[in-house]
Amino acid sequence: MNEIKIAVLPGDGIGPEVIKESLKVLGAVSEIYACKFLFNEGLVGAKAIFNAGNPLPDETLEICKNSDAVLFGAIGDPHFDNDPKAKLRPEQGLLKLRKELGLFANIRPLKIFDTLVESSPLKKEVIKDTDMVIYRELISGIYFGEKFTEEQGEYAYDVCSYNRFEIQRIAHLAFQAARKRRKKLTLIDKANVLDTSRLWRKICQEISHQYADVTLEYIFVDNAAMQVILHPKQFDVVLTENMFGDIISDEASVIGGSIGLMPSASIGEKYSLFEPIHGSYPQAAGKGIANPLASILSVAMMLEHLGYDAESRVVEKAVATVISKGCVTEDLNPERAYSTAEVGDFVAEFIRNSQKGSYYNYENIQIGKSTIV
Ligand code: IPM
Ligand code: MG
């Protein structure tokens, strides 16, 4: 029996609710496959500030370093967002965690589920068959450069810097991914204005010689913001720096119908962390309306990364089936919405039944009479 140690960091807002469903799904996976998950929970974010006076307590970091992977919920709290003078901020917990674990590549895949083509505000013809993956650099750039706010509070700066090593390591991963896909890599930058962007272009150009089968294209970030929703199909693998990646990936999630569907994997040399791209959505916390599928799909990415391919595929298949049967939260279907826990139950139930050859009776879902309590 394989034992997999997972650090669980639910965090703030809807984080704990979506994580609960992910753990439910892992429970179902362990019932039918020869793997056992050992969960170790840690405090992070606003909750950690309130409880331990630190957005990333040492103990939490230790738990992460002693695990095979980290499962992360969400972070952020309006209490801090509305107080620009706050010295401690929940987000510092996540940023420090990414840095300490060396998670330099944040991978954000975007796929369109057929039954959801109508859920996006964008036209069906525009988004149908979109299949892209964003490689976002995660531990450098303006997020981690020198910061300063003058005492009188009238002047501040944030420095954006990159070096060859930081660009190279993620660029190689992105080229390798492109090689396994449609062999196209698009670098998003602002090379007409920024020195850091020109460095990205130079280094990516150099590296491209090692990947002659991959076409490298460049696009300025302002144009990319438009192209991503005008012609999303043109993108295969997208590579970009930290802040552009943060912004473009939220935008790209609109294509899929909901930000509540987009998972991510953050990968380093030694550690890995899996989290939905959405935030803590405090307005929804405790209401049972949060979409757990981005977190559950992050679990699928985690299983794949750890080498559990069959387990990963069954989770993905369960999610696709549940969506195709219309068992979704209100962000995807306000008229016939299921709760966070119900969606998690259906995914888990599909997995449990997947080996019996007889899948769950979805007729019940459609008429709203689930047999699952
Ligand atoms: C994300 C989030 C974070 C980021 C925040 C919470 C610090 O928006 O993971 O995309 O900006 O990286
Ligand atoms: Mg973001």
Q: How far is the CA of 359 from the centre of ligand 2 (A)?
A: 36
Burial degree of 327 (CB within 10 A; 0-12, 13-18, 19+): buried
From the CA of 143, the nearest ligand is 1
Give a yes or no: residue 115 inside a domain. no
* Structural domain count of the chain: 2
Mark the binding-site residues for substrate, compressed into ranges.
98, 108, 136, 222
CATH of the domain at 181: 3.40.718.10
Q: Answer with the one of 205, 228, 256 that is the final residue of a domain.
A: 256
Mark the binding-site residues, compressed into ranges.
98, 108, 136, 222, 246, 250
Protein residue with its CA nearest to atom 10 in ligand 1: 246
Q: Answer with the one of 187, 222, 256 that is the final residue of a domain.
A: 256
Give a yes or no: residue 3 inside a domain. yes
Q: Which residues surround ligand 2, an ion (CB under 5 A)?
A: 246
Mean pLDDT rounded to a whole number for the chain: 94
Give a yes or no: residue 289 inside a domain. yes
Q: Is the pLDDT of residue 85 over 90?
A: no
Q: Is residue 283 located within the same domain as residue 242?
A: no
The strand pair at 215-220 and 184-189 is best described as parallel
Domain residue limits at 279: 1-106+270-373
Q: How far apart are CA 359 and CA 243, in angstroms?
A: 43
pLDDT for the residue 361: 52
Give a yes or no: residue 158 inside a domain. yes
Q: Per-residue pLDDT tens for 118-130?
A: 889 999 999 999 9
Q: Per-residue pLDDT tens for 324-354?
A: 999 999 999 999 999 999 999 999 999 999 9
Give a yes or no: residue 38 inside a domain. yes
Q: Per-residue pLDDT tens for 137-179?
A: 999 999 999 999 999 999 999 999 999 999 999 999 999 999 9
pLDDT for the residue 357: 55
Protein residue with its CA nearest to atom 6 in ligand 1: 91
Q: Is residue 153 located within the same domain as residue 200?
A: yes
Instruction: Give the start-end residues of each E strand in the chain.
Output: 2-11, 35-41, 69-74, 105-111, 131-137, 147-149, 156-158, 184-189, 215-220, 237-240, 263-267, 272-276
Q: How far is the CA of 85 from the centre of ligand 2 (A)?
A: 21
Q: Is the pLDDT of residue 81 over 90?
A: no
pTM of the predicted model, to two decimals? Answer: 0.94
Out of 1-5, 243-247, 266-270, 292-296, least confident range? 1-5
Q: Is residue 125 located within the same domain as residue 252?
A: yes
Q: Is the pLDDT of residue 306 over 50?
A: yes
Q: Is 274 within 8 Å of 70 (Cβ atoms)?
A: yes
Q: Is 161 within 8 Å of 196 (Cβ atoms)?
A: yes
Q: Per-residue pLDDT tens for 263-292?
A: 999 999 999 999 999 999 999 999 999 999
Q: Answer with the one of 230, 256, 282 that is the final residue of a domain.
A: 256
Nearest to 348 by CA among 12, 9, 22: 22
Q: How far apart are CA 68 and CA 349, in angstroms?
A: 26
Nearest 5°: the CA angle 267, 19, 96 is 45
The strand pair at 156-158 and 237-240 is best described as unpaired
Q: Is residue 48 located within the same domain as residue 142?
A: no
Q: Is the pLDDT of residue 360 over 80?
A: no
Q: Which of 81, 89, 91 to mutate to test the pocket of ligand 1 (most atoms within 8 A of CB)?
A: 91
What residues are annotated to the active site? 143, 190, 222, 246, 250
What is the full DSSP assignment across 263-310?
A: EEEEE-SS-EEEEESS---GGGTTTT-S--HHHHHHHHHHHHHTT-HH
Q: How far is the CA of 250 from the centre of ligand 2 (A)?
A: 6
Q: Is residue 178 located within the same domain as residue 86?
A: no
Q: Is residue 140 located within the same domain as residue 225?
A: yes
Q: Per-residue pLDDT tens for 348-357?
A: 999 999 976 5
